[in-house]
Structure 1
Amino acid sequence: MEERDAWIAVHQVKGAGWHTIDRLHRAGWVPTNPMTPSVMEAVRAMGVTQQRLDRIREKCTPSFVREVKEELRNREICTVTVWDDDYPPLLREIPQPPWVLYVKGDASLLSGPCVAVVGTRRPTPYGRRVARMLSEQLAGAGWVVVSGMAAGIDSEAHRGALRKNGATVAVLGTGVDVVYPKSNRSLYHELIQRGVVCSEMPPGTEPHPGLFPQRNRIISGLSYGTLVVEAAERSGSLITADCSMEQGREVFAVPGPITSTQSAGTHRLIQEGAKCVRGVEDIWEEFPHLMPAPPSESFREAALSLTMEEERVFALIGVDPVSLEEVMNRCPLPAEAVHSVLLSLQLKRCIRQLPGMQFVRM
């Protein structure tokens, strides 16, 4: 049996997580060979129990390795390991890169120019629009959008990317064959067909709260930077932003209304130094060596498609500056909605804000 296949089989053994494999590897054990007393002594000294070692020794036989390999092939699950040349280069740089990634879909996207787009599971309509719009623009310009296929902002990010060219990666906190949440079943199948789904968890792993923070380091690890679109003070997406900072990657945040609890986390990120994003150009300018080609005319037109509320506010703004007070007095929408629409129009590069809270068309 090949050493690579044997390590993948070890990863399937219950209790053989990242740290156990790391200790076995550091002790010099090669799973194609018997586990010698000196190796067992060294690994026990690192904190691995004899019971776990016995389980690995008993389970990791040539027949088990063949069984695991055959099962993955039958279920069309590919594997990428740290011993492979095509392991994602950015992911290799992080602390504790996953030993094995289980993949369904186009694995080459994992090594593309990636940007993570994450946020709350309970977004506002504004958050949904912005996440989808920015992800569509990123994917349309050649970037790969990475997210976690959670409800809310994650799902909108994937859908935005899929509308352009399918350049999107979903990193799951479950096995790569487990759809969570169930409501995303159709999105999951579309991602497999047009993008890629991956996980470091062995196939069949069911959702558990502790697994999702662990997978967040992979979302940020695959990416040059992480964009947060709406996050409450205790949002799980802030963990991804923290991982990104710890990994030395860029962190971006989209501002929202100051009255919105769903933007409290993103505002805090901006206060702490995350770059405020008003449009995709704010992301691109941080990566001049990866600068995408200018979007086509048809893409600009798509980016400028307005909702009914946006059209209503846009009609009140001309080439001469108009104040926020004047817009609010002339617009029948609630004040909070006006603020959201104005920001959305800025993100779409329809208008720009001048000093003194005045607005003009671009």
Structure 2
Amino acid sequence: MTPILSPNTQAILLLTAPLIAGGGTASSELLSPGEYKRLARRLREIQHQPADLVSPEADEILRACQPVIDESRMQRLLGRGFLLSQVIERWQARAIWVVSRADAGYPRRLKARLREDAPAVLYGCGDTGFLETGGLAVVGSRHVDDALIDYTVSVGRLAARAGRTLVSGGAKGIDQAAMRGALEGGGKVCGVLADSLEKTAMNREHRNLLLDGQLVLMSPYDPSARFNVGNAMQRNKLIYALADASLVVNSDFNKGGTWTGAVEQLDKLKFVTVFVRSTGESSAGLDALRKKGAIPWPNPQDVDSFADVLNVQVPSPTVSRQVGFSLLDESQSADTTPTTTILGDATPLAKNESEPLTPAETVSDTQPLAAASEGQPSIESGAVASAAETKEPPQPELTPAELVFSAVQAAIENLLSKQMKDAEVAAALDVSNQQAKAWLQRLVEDGKVEKLNRPVRYVAKSQKSLFGDEVHNNRLQRTADRGR
């Protein structure tokens, strides 16, 4: 991620962000997460992207979105270009980065797990690579005794020794103890904040850790936002979504953010294994979480046993669930560098950054991409041959672009069970027309897809027989039309 904001990110900020510069106040007309979700769906339906809302053809697009969001309201929000330029300057001076769901640099773990509920915009400071490393999420109550603080610090130190990222919320009590332990141990820490990102990042102690590459701070809320109970509750799912496993050190029963987040994880989201502290004095909250399916923490004492605890089967950022979040190969990415233009009332914008797919819109989670990425064929039960019988040469390692194509191929062929134009395929996959055409041309060359003319459209070869009569009749009709 760079300090340069993409046109799509600028448009999303205008619609959803308070743009608080210092002591400013938030606009009461901002789109809520639910409203922006509906708007994003509508834009995909009409084959547009957020940046188009401030393009020369914006009036027409805004009218097309009127059934979802009031046109005049969006116009007022999009007219805040000057305020946006001021706040961007403030963020850049403080080394605060901003990324939106429309950017390829958006954390893939969040998109894979939260899908359309992933925050439209994220703010942060520090090495964004930490956001893709997984690790252990440690959460707990704010008000705890010294014994629990010491216990939590030791967990953070063990995570550091094991070379695993520690993810927590930065709140007083358990969160800060876990983060302090990991940092003191020389480990890496990801803090998911509910408020005061700017103030926290400017703290001298934190600043040094940020510069040294030990700490990254992230928040879905404006860098100047103050504490809000609702925000603290909502950010909990981000902590779990960024991790490989989680540990609840302490929790009240049936109240508080720690309880709410853990219950949501156990009952609904189920992103990671939820462990609960199993030594020392228990609590009604921890006992209730165990009854809901939480597992007693096995209290690993060394690096190897700690690694075993975190060795849970969770989606990797490179497996099939992630395909579609950056559907550009390296050559195309080089041609789509965002400009530094600040959006105004009618600033022309490049149309090269469509909002990426959600996992529900991409290929199946069961597709064996992980095996392909390691150059190994998938092995089904009963199909294992002896080493003497399988002397096939090793498969070459696939490039990232080839991995993406191999995954998206199934999705395209599924779409082409009926005839579609390239623009329709692009809209369905939520990618640019140029990208869709490139994939379709490759499938045509590979003999997987047939290209039909007048008008140009595509159909999967496996479906050709189903459309044979229709294609033949269309050709006869065109011949008859030309003879008239």
TM-score normalised per structure 2: 0.52
The partner residue of 2:274 within 243, 251, 256 is 251
Note if 1:45 corresponds to 2:67. Answer: yes
2:147 alignment partner in structure 1: 126
2:53 alignment partner in structure 1: 31
Measured at CA, do residues 142 and 105 of structure 1 come closer, stay the same or move farther in structure 2, by a change above 3 Å? same
Note if 1:149 corresponds to 2:201. Answer: no
Note if 1:287 corresponds to 2:311. Answer: yes
Alpha-carbon separation, structure 1, partners of 2:155 and 2:215: 17
8 Å CA contact retained: 1:102, 1:202: yes
Alpha-carbon separation, structure 1, partners of 2:38 and 2:87: 22
Q: SS of 2:36's equivalent?
A: helix
Alpha-carbon separation, structure 1, partners of 2:307 and 2:187: 20
Note if 1:93 corresponds to 2:112. Answer: yes
Give the alignment of 1:145-224 within 5 angstroms: 145-179=166-200, 188-189=206-207, 191-193=209-211, 194-224=214-244
8 Å CA contact retained: 1:147, 1:154: yes
Alpha-carbon separation, structure 1, partners of 2:287 and 2:207: 34
CA RMSD of aligned residues (A): 2.9
The amino acid that maps onto 1:21 is Y
Q: SS of 2:151's equivalent?
A: helix
2:379 alignment partner in structure 1: none
1:163-182 superposed Cα distances (whole Å, 9 cap, x missing partner) = 122411111111421449xx
1:265 alignment partner in structure 2: 285
Alpha-carbon separation, structure 1, partners of 2:227 and 2:17: 17
Alpha-carbon separation, structure 2, partners of 1:75 and 1:186: 12
Residue identity (%): 25
Q: Could you list the runs of 5+ residues in structure 2 that have no partner in the other structure?
A: 1-5, 19-26, 44-49, 315-484
The amino acid that maps onto 2:53 is P
Structure showing greater Rg: 2
1:329 alignment partner in structure 2: none
Measured at CA, do residues 239 and 178 of structure 1 come closer, stay the same or move farther in structure 2, by a change above 3 Å? farther
Measured at CA, do residues 6 and 53 of structure 1 come closer, stay the same or move farther in structure 2, by a change above 3 Å? closer
Q: SS of 2:289's equivalent?
A: helix
The amino acid that maps onto 1:192 is L
8 Å CA contact retained: 1:221, 1:244: no
8 Å CA contact retained: 1:78, 1:103: yes
The amino acid that maps onto 1:87 is Y
**What is the CA-CA distance between 1:42 and the residue it aligns to?**
5.2
The partner residue of 1:239 within 236, 250, 260 is 260
Alpha-carbon separation, structure 2, partners of 1:264 and 1:102: 36
The amino acid that maps onto 2:125 is K
The partner residue of 1:21 within 9, 21, 36 is 36
The partner residue of 2:294 within 274, 281, 285 is 274
Q: SS of 2:195's equivalent?
A: coil
Q: SS of 1:170's equivalent?
A: strand
Greater strand fraction, Structure 1 or Structure 2 = 1
**What is the CA-CA distance between 1:208 and the residue it aligns to?**
1.4
8 Å CA contact retained: 1:2, 1:32: no
**What is the CA-CA distance between 1:10 and the residue it aligns to?**
3.4
**What is the CA-CA distance between 1:92 and the residue it aligns to?**
1.1
8 Å CA contact retained: 2:152, 2:249: yes
Q: SS of 2:197's equivalent?
A: coil
Alpha-carbon separation, structure 2, partners of 1:49 and 1:38: 13
1:301-332 superposed Cα distances (whole Å, 9 cap, x missing partner) = xxxxxxxxxxxxxxxxxxxxxxxxxxxxxxxx
**What is the CA-CA distance between 1:94 and the residue it aligns to?**
2.6
Aligned residues: 281
Measured at CA, do residues 289 and 26 of structure 1 come closer, stay the same or move farther in structure 2, by a change above 3 Å? closer
Between 1:143-152 and 1:120-129, the stretch displaced more is: 120-129
Measured at CA, do residues 264 and 33 of structure 1 come closer, stay the same or move farther in structure 2, by a change above 3 Å? same
**What is the CA-CA distance between 1:80 and the residue it aligns to?**
2.7
Measured at CA, do residues 212 and 241 of structure 1 come closer, stay the same or move farther in structure 2, by a change above 3 Å? same
**What is the CA-CA distance between 1:50 and the residue it aligns to?**
5.3
Alpha-carbon separation, structure 1, partners of 2:78 and 2:290: 50
**What is the CA-CA distance between 1:120 and the residue it aligns to?**
0.8
1:282-315 superposed Cα distances (whole Å, 9 cap, x missing partner) = 773451679xxxxxxxxxxxxxxxxxxxxxxxxx
Note if 1:78 corresponds to 2:100. Answer: no
8 Å CA contact retained: 1:3, 1:31: no
Alpha-carbon separation, structure 1, partners of 2:111 and 2:92: 25
8 Å CA contact retained: 2:159, 2:187: no
Measured at CA, do residues 142 and 84 of structure 1 come closer, stay the same or move farther in structure 2, by a change above 3 Å? farther
TM-score normalised per structure 1: 0.69
Measured at CA, do residues 35 and 159 of structure 1 come closer, stay the same or move farther in structure 2, by a change above 3 Å? farther
**What is the CA-CA distance between 1:17 and the residue it aligns to?**
3.4
The amino acid that maps onto 1:4 is T
The amino acid that maps onto 1:2 is P
Measured at CA, do residues 186 and 57 of structure 1 come closer, stay the same or move farther in structure 2, by a change above 3 Å? closer
Alpha-carbon separation, structure 1, partners of 2:78 and 2:10: 15
8 Å CA contact retained: 1:226, 1:240: no
Alpha-carbon separation, structure 2, partners of 1:41 and 1:6: 17
1:253-282 superposed Cα distances (whole Å, 9 cap, x missing partner) = 002555x5xx22112112221110131337
**What is the CA-CA distance between 1:35 and the residue it aligns to?**
7.3
Give the alignment of 1:306-317 within 5 angstroms: none
